[in-house]
Amino acid sequence: MENNLLTALRKYRPREGKDPLENFTTEAYGWILKNYPDYSNFFLSKLSNKLNFSDNISNPIWNTQVNFNGFFPDMVCKFDNKAFVFENKAWSPLHENQLENYRSYAKENFDIYKLILITANTSQHSQNPDLAICWSNIHTWVSEWLNGIDKKNSSDLFIFKSFLNLLEDEGMGPTAPLSHESILYYYHSKNFLQYTSELTVRVFNRNETIFKTLINSEEFKYIHRDKWGRIGIEFFEPWRPGIFIGIMADWEDHATKPILGKNSPDFTIILSFDEDLHFKYQTNIDYIGLVEHLTTEIKNLNNGWELYNHLKDDSVEEKNIWHPKHIRKPMLDVFRGTTNTDEQEKAYMICAKEILPLITKANNFVNLRKQWKKEEQPITAP
């Protein structure tokens, strides 16, 4: 059944070790173009304007994964003996000679053809297509079309809004201050560290009262931490124990490789101990009890958080004994779908409200603070 969206998408279900986002997005968009002729015509008019293509497009036929002598462009729109040939990319680059392979076939089989590249960002625009656009352009056009149609058919509206949500969730919608792209390529992003630091300060300044409640202690002292590769907010200094919440922008000092490797830094909550406690905390009954408590609580959350036991990570030769426990998830997952600063601040606070009380309200943590309390030096607010 070609008109069944779920059937079209089923073959691109996620499989272990493979994220079929590009094919999934293509099939979803291709299904819309096949089943909504009014939108298809609107989309083709947008492309024609950008291409300066003046030929009449009548009765367009859309297909996905068409066989071009062993090469498979993502979408092909045929009309008369002409064609728009599409290659759609999410975050991966083009394969070597990928567009040239399509050109060779199209030259031999169509009177006129145009090669169109759709990608997540402009840095992927290469191999000289006739037109290169981004999924964010598609998002804008779909939104524009929705604003101009009769909204009575709620099922149609649901389909289009679901597709917009897909683009937004995968970072291919409107660009946010901390964009999906800047997180994904954070090692090369000039603005990533600056925006992350600014986000941290804004979050704390606007939520100080909430943080006081979350920390659950009269010893409410904090510092904006931008050191040792991490950017965030730190509570309790000295670390007896201390808590950090924020972004692990550079993992080298902490010897904790990001969950997604170079594809995303981690959003993390870290439990830290001063040097004189390094050979005490591991055998302390309250520390052991706190770890057991957190293990159960994080498992019960079942929403992507990982309790990382750094000292038992066999892949790390030299352990950082200062920071034995990390509760973390990829930064991409935390900020997925956010499109502006307010949404990103809210996402940050959702994490804080979800995780900090699991630590600070645990009797074992309170007991550790009482056992190892000592005279503390004043520290500076963010």
- The answer to whether 74 and 89 have CB atoms below 8 angstroms apart is no
Prediction pTM value: 0.58
Helices (H) and strands (E) in the chain, counts: 12, 11
Within 13 Å of residue 105, how many CA atoms lie on the same side as its CB?
Answer: 18
Peptide bond into 238 cis (omega under 30): yes
| Number of neighbours of residue 266 by Cβ within 10 angstroms | 26
pLDDT digits (tens, 9 = 90+) for 140-170: 999 999 888 766 566 678 889 889 988 887 7
Q: Which helix (H) or strand (E) holds 270?
A: strand 266-272
**What are 267-310's pLDDT values in tens digits?**
999 999 999 999 999 999 999 999 999 999 999 998 899 999 99
- pLDDT, tens digit, 9 for 90 and up, residues 156-210: 788 898 899 888 877 787 766 666 666 665 555 657 777 888 888 888 888 888 9
Contacts 24+ apart (CB under 8 A), 371-378: 371/284, 371/286, 372/240, 372/241, 372/274, 372/277, 373/240, 374/238, 374/240, 376/219, 376/221, 376/237, 376/238, 377/237, 377/238, 378/221
Contact of 284 with 334, CB cutoff 8 Å:
no
Closest by Cα among 240, 258, 197 to 382:
197
CA nearest neighbour of 247 among 225, 267, 263:
267
The DSSP result for 236-256, as a single string, is SSS-SSEEEEEEES--TTTT-
Confidence of residue 15 (pLDDT cuts 50, 70, 90): very low
